[in-house]
Amino acid sequence: MRGASKTTYQLPIGPIHPALKEPVMFEFKVDGERIIDVDVKLGQVHRGIEWAGTRRNPIQILYLAERICGICSYCHPMSFALAVERAAGIEVPERAQYLRVIQGELERICSHVLWAGVAAHEIGFDSVLFLTWEIREKGLDLTEYLTGNRVTKGITMIGGVRRDITDDMVPKVKQALDYLKEKIDKVQHVFLNDKTIKLRCRDCGVLTKEDALKLCAVGPTARASGVKKDVRLDQGYFAYTDLDFDYVTPDIITGEVKGDVYDRVIVRLLEVKQSINLIEQCLEQMPKGDIVSEPKIPKLLATLKRVNGEGIGRMEAPRGEVFHYVRFTGTGNPYAWKVRAPTYNNILPWIPMLLDQQIADIPIVAASTDPCMSCTNRVAIISNNKRYIMNSEELHRLSIEKTRRLSI
Amino acid sequence: MSKALSKSFKKALWVYHCNSGSCNGCDIEIIAALCPRYDVERFGIRLVGSPRHADVLLVTGPVTRQLVDKVKRVYDQMPNPKAVICVGNCGNTGDVFYESYNLLGPIDKVIPVDVYVIGCPPRPENIINGVLKAWLKLETLEKNKEVRE
Amino acid sequence: MRFSMIPVVLAQMLKKPFTNKFPVKYAPSSPSRFLEKVEKGEIKINPPVPVPERFRGRITYDKDKCIGCRLCLQVCPSEAIEYKTEEKKIRIYLARCTFCAQCNEVCPVSCLSMSNEFLLSDTDKYSNSLIVE
Amino acid sequence: MIRDKQLKPEEIVQSFKDAFTTNIEDSRIERRVTGIKKAGFTIIWLRVKRESFKDVVKHIFTFDEYPHFAVTSGYDMNENIELVYHFSIYHGSRGREISLNITVTLPKNDPSIDTITDLLPGAVISEQEKQEMLGVIVKGIPKNQRVFISDDFPEGVYPWRKDETGPDKHVRNLHKEEDKKT
């Protein structure tokens, strides 16, 4: 380093780019183009949900929990329902456990395909964005067919599920799954065999297994670094214990684990195939039976009023382990409610990933962990009062230029 | 001159999307409206990266305390004539987040809103319907301006 | 392979376009005249993407079946339902509704149900078309 | 690797009790079963005195070299604040993970606890959140800033507290404010 004359720059980013969703703020120290130090400022989207939860009854909280994050809008209410069921000792019928697996895997497919489009968009491949989002539309049609709304599914109920999949709905589900299976092979071919994507993603934003374990990274980010962490397998909930599947790590295809952006692409695309397979297994093994333990809601609210205890709900969301903690003291409304989104644990791994990377790599590395609190709309580099406005459009343009430079 | 301006204005409506603390259910529906299936680009609607080039502001989310002045600044940077479309119920009335210590009111408390797109999240066609209503409003604005001249 | 996306793009060119041309293929030169023609029936609007049968759209309220038991108020996550004490009926603000249909399930006389209509946008969020009484 | 011999839940609780005798106020093992095959997993709840909290966390490392730390939940029980640290050990093999939740009570007049970021660097965001939401003082926290609440939110107001330092002065009901208008 050339001694004390090193200056760092303040770049607050104003507008929000369409692909970047919720705002999160970084602070980097930069030596020229190379990033030397990273600091993260969160909380632009703090809506005080946990506090609002203590003032409502559990049925209302289901729909509040659904709007914590729009893309994984199934895992939050479902792990809240798990926590309440464990605190109140409510048994869930077996058919409902299978229906819950189907909804969870369907959401994982839609979320990973969405992510593939956003990641391709970050490095400048808009045609891949349109290709993947065209596939995602079929996934959303299936979600709408099964739950009644494209994004906020509203299928969760404490003690089971709100809608059943009857036998005459199964052929339509199977037909949509075949369409998805065939198209996802095409996307995987596009992503994994494209020379430019390999140039941009190989050895970029590396997270070593040691760092992933120490920083408790979760989900595909951890699995891409070789850490075998998957709540569906570690601590089987719903009906995952009856299905046969295994941890998805990049060495299935490439035979080695590097923990870089390319490995995260592999892990997510393999997981989409795994999810389709899981849904098919569920459709075959699903037993007959009722779909919710207590259909009458006033009765359910009455039983929840008498609960006095605490429960935890853990679930594997598309981005990683979602954790809910609920404490009841017999007043109907939960006394305490703690929500931990998977991105909570995937924020700190950004720091080892982004060190010694270039500024142009920030969008793709940040997008590679698929942050639900999501991509950078604020990149601020601490300056000695020299302000240099660089909006996220320029950040994105830098990223595209780098792709062009590499691919010539 | 105003006649020429209004004609060119109708063909290309440039849109800028601002997320003021939304759960991003509406944001992905806005992006879905841009993608091949609904493809608002055939109406000349294009998403631009800066409010300075935009005619319509698509706002989502109940405004959090940290983003209040950001939303105001984005609104002020937009050139006239401009329209604001508030997408999603939590932007319209603070739907599920009606009670909070960190939210400063639905969007029309921060900036004047022209069209409210109702839904949680609204379907992409509903957003197109909202844009159509914004056009009507902008057109009547143009007519009143011509009548006044 | 160098650019694996090229064969996909070429194949895409031959297929039927994926776009569903919702109201009309291209932007009308003047929206108001366009709407008048639609009312007169000269122009046919292309239908939106078909909606499945149990879609959660605009709520419909059967006033005389309602017994005013206020169970729906207890369950509504966003306080979108207002109770009119004098006539023991309810008023639902669509601008505050989350379209979760939880009130449909809790209603003992099932006087609430969800229709398929979803094109709800207006210049005034509390206009009569957006309040179900 | 010490994880090769994986202890049963009862042995784990017993080893905690041997090491900390009176400091473990109470312990509970919760068994859950799922699916048709009724495969089960266990959740261990421990209530620990504050003095021996750091050693209890160090003791977890004897079971698993890299325990998984989920988050710390906290709530205000009128005269003292209770924090629940959620760990889980033995991840990596199918159906063997055990959740471990450690509850600590802090008196309200001195709500301080020492940090665990030296053992688990991933816990810093969770500790920052407890500082700003509950007014807990984490001794030795590497980054003493606010993480979720904005900087212009007044000092001394803790959103999760149910006493006078609660957020009730700042709460706004967006619907009721509009009802007054229409």
Q: What's residue B101's pLDDT? A: 81
State the CATH number of the domain containing residue A233.
Answer: 1.10.645.10
Q: Which residue in D34, D43, D94 is closest to A97 by CB distance?
A: D34
Cβ–Cβ of B136/C31 closer than 8 Å?
A: yes
- Using the Cβ of A47 and the Cβ atoms of chain B, whether some distance falls under 8 Å is answered with yes
Q: What's residue B116's pLDDT? A: 93
Q: Domain extents for chain C?
A: 59-132
Cβ–Cβ of A148/C55 closer than 8 Å?
A: yes
Residue D61 has pLDDT above 70, yes or no: yes
Which of the two residues, D177 and A311, has the higher pLDDT score? Answer: A311
Helices in D28-149 by DSSP H: which ranges? 53-63, 124-134
Chains touching D by CB (3 or more pairs below 8 Å): A, B, C
| Among A residues 194-223, those touching chain D with beta carbons less than 8 Å apart | 213-218
Which of the two residues, B89 and B23, has the higher pLDDT score? Answer: B89
Q: What's residue A394's pLDDT? A: 63
Q: What is the distance between the alpha carbons of residues A156 and A63, in angstroms, rounded to a whole number? A: 9
| Residue given tokens 């343009």 in the structure block | A397
Identify whether B121 is preceded by a cis peptide bond (ω within 30 of 0).
yes
Cβ–Cβ of B122/C22 closer than 8 Å?
A: no
Which of the two residues, D79 and A27, has the higher pLDDT score? Answer: D79
Query: Does residue A250 sit in the same domain as residue A203?
Result: yes
Q: Coil, strand or helix: which one is D102?
A: strand
Q: How near does any CA of chain D get to the CA of A106, in Å?
A: 19
Tokens of A76: 């939050």
Average pLDDT, chain D: 85
Q: Is A32 inside any structural domain?
A: no
Q: pTM of this prediction?
A: 0.90
Q: Is A9 inside any structural domain?
A: no
Mean of the pLDDT values across residues D84-108?
90
Between the CA of residue D50 and those of A33, A199, D85, D103, D110, what are the distances in Å? 47, 52, 12, 9, 11
Q: Which residues of C27-56 are buried (b: 16+ CB within 10 A; e: fewer)?
A: bbebbeebbeeeeeeeeeeeebbebbeebb
Pairing of the two strands D112-114 and D137-139: parallel
Q: What is the largest CA-CA distance in chain A?
A: 72
CATH topology for C59-132? Alpha-Beta Plaits (3.30.70)
Residue percentage of chain A with pLDDT more than 70: 86
Tokens of A125: 């491949």
CA atoms within 13 A on the CB side of A150: 22
**With contacts defined as CB-CB under 8 Å, which chain C residues touch A145?**
52
Query: Does residue A353 sit in the same domain as residue A385?
Result: no
Q: How near does any CA of chain C get to the CA of B114, in Å?
A: 6
Cβ neighbours of B18 (radius 10 Å): 26
Q: What is the distance between the alpha carbons of residues B14 and A173, in angstroms, rounded to a whole number? A: 38
Q: What's residue B140's pLDDT? A: 79
Q: Is A74 inside any structural domain?
A: yes
Q: What's residue A376's pLDDT? A: 29
| Residue given tokens 């991933």 in the structure block | D122
Query: Per DSSP, which regions of chain C are E strands?
Result: 59-61, 81-84, 89-93, 112-114, 121-122, 131-132
Residue B1 has pLDDT above 70, yes or no: no
Q: How near does any CA of chain D get to the CA of B144, in Å?
A: 28
Quick one: DSSP state of residue A345?
H
- Using the Cβ of D174 and the Cβ atoms of chain C, whether some distance falls under 8 Å is answered with no
Residue D4 has pLDDT above 70, yes or no: no
Q: Is A229 inside any structural domain?
A: yes
Q: Is A374 inside any structural domain?
A: no
Q: What is the distance between the alpha carbons of residues B79 and B54, in angstroms, rounded to a whole number? A: 7
Question: Is the torsion defined by CA of D15, D18, D20, D25 positive or negative?
Answer: positive
Nearest to A250 by CA among A275, A274, A226, A278: A226
Q: What is the distance between the alpha carbons of residues A129 and B46, in angstroms, rounded to a whole number? A: 16
Query: Per DSSP, which regions of A254-393 are E strands?
Result: 308-317, 320-329, 336-340, 376-381
Superfamily for domain range D2-156: NADH:ubiquinone oxidoreductase Nqo5 subunit (3.30.460.80)
Q: Give the total residue count for chain A.
A: 408
Q: How near does any CA of chain A get to the CA of C40, in Å?
A: 33
Q: What is the distance between the alpha carbons of residues D32 and D46, in angstroms, rounded to a whole number? A: 17
- Looking at this protein, which amino acid is placed at residue A86? R
Mean of the pLDDT values across residues D52-80?
89
Nearest to A7 by CA among A26, A25, A29: A29
Residue B105 has pLDDT above 90, yes or no: no
Q: Is A25 inside any structural domain?
A: no
Q: Domain extents for chain D?
A: 2-156
Start-to-end CA distance of chain A, whole Å, equals 31
Cβ neighbours of B8 (radius 10 Å): 8
Cβ–Cβ of A86/D30 closer than 8 Å?
A: yes
Residue A154 domain boundaries:
49-367
Residue A265 burial by Cβ neighbours in a 10 Å radius (0-12, 13-18, 19+): buried
Which residues, in sequence order, are CB contacts of A260 under 8 Å at separation 6+? Answer: A201, A202, A203, A204, A205, A206, A207, A224
Q: What is the distance between the alpha carbons of residues C1 and C7, in angstroms, rounded to a whole number? A: 11
Residue D122 has pLDDT above 60, yes or no: yes
Q: Which residue in C4, C55, C106 is closest to A190 by CB distance?
A: C4
Q: Is A3 inside any structural domain?
A: no
List A387's β-bridge partners, or say none.
Answer: A10
Identify whether B81 is preceded by a cis peptide bond (ω within 30 of 0).
yes
| Among C residues 53-112, those touching chain B with beta carbons less than 8 Å apart | 77-80, 93-99
Low-confidence residues of chain A: pLDDT under 50: 1-4, 10-21, 374-391
- pLDDT band, very low/low/confident/very high, at D1 (cuts 50, 70, 90): very low
Residue D176 has pLDDT above 70, yes or no: yes
Chains touching A by CB (3 or more pairs below 8 Å): B, C, D
Query: Does residue A258 sit in the same domain as residue A390?
Result: no
Q: How near does any CA of chain A get to the CA of C133, in Å?
A: 22
Q: Which residues of A361-389 are buried (b: 16+ CB within 10 A; e: fewer)?
A: bbbbbbbbbbbbbbbbbbbbbeeeeeeee
Residue of D nearest to A325 (CA): D73
Give Rg (Cα) of chain C: 22
Residue D107 has pLDDT above 50, yes or no: yes
- Looking at this protein, which amino acid is placed at residue A241? T
Q: Which residue in D149, D171, D178 is closest to B93 by CB distance?
A: D178
Query: Does residue A140 sit in the same domain as residue A225?
Result: yes
Query: Does residue A154 sit in the same domain as residue A85?
Result: yes
Answer yes or no: are the C-beta atoms of C102 and A59 closer than 8 Å: yes
Query: Does residue A329 sit in the same domain as residue A361?
Result: yes
Pairing of the two strands B56-60 and B14-19: parallel
Mean of the pLDDT values across residues C26-31?
76
Q: What is the distance between the alpha carbons of residues D24 and B84, in angstroms, rounded to a whole number? A: 59
Residue C97 has pLDDT above 70, yes or no: yes
Mean of the pLDDT values across residues D121-126?
87
Q: Please report which helix (H) or strand (E) contains residue D107, including its range.
A: strand D98-107
Q: What is the distance between the alpha carbons of residues C67 and A133, in angstroms, rounded to a whole number? A: 46
**With contacts defined as CB-CB under 8 Å, which chain B residues touch C119?**
125-126, 129
* Domains in chain A, number: 2
Q: What's residue A82's pLDDT? A: 93
Q: What is the distance between the alpha carbons of residues A25 and A20, in angstroms, rounded to a whole number? A: 12
Q: Is A309 inside any structural domain?
A: yes
Nearest to A343 by CA among A36, A76, A119, A124: A76
Answer yes or no: are the C-beta atoms of C76 and B120 closer than 8 Å: no
Q: What's residue B82's pLDDT? A: 83
Written as one string, the DSSP assignment of A85-103 is: HHHHTPPPPHHHHHHHHHH
Query: Does residue A346 sit in the same domain as residue A395?
Result: no
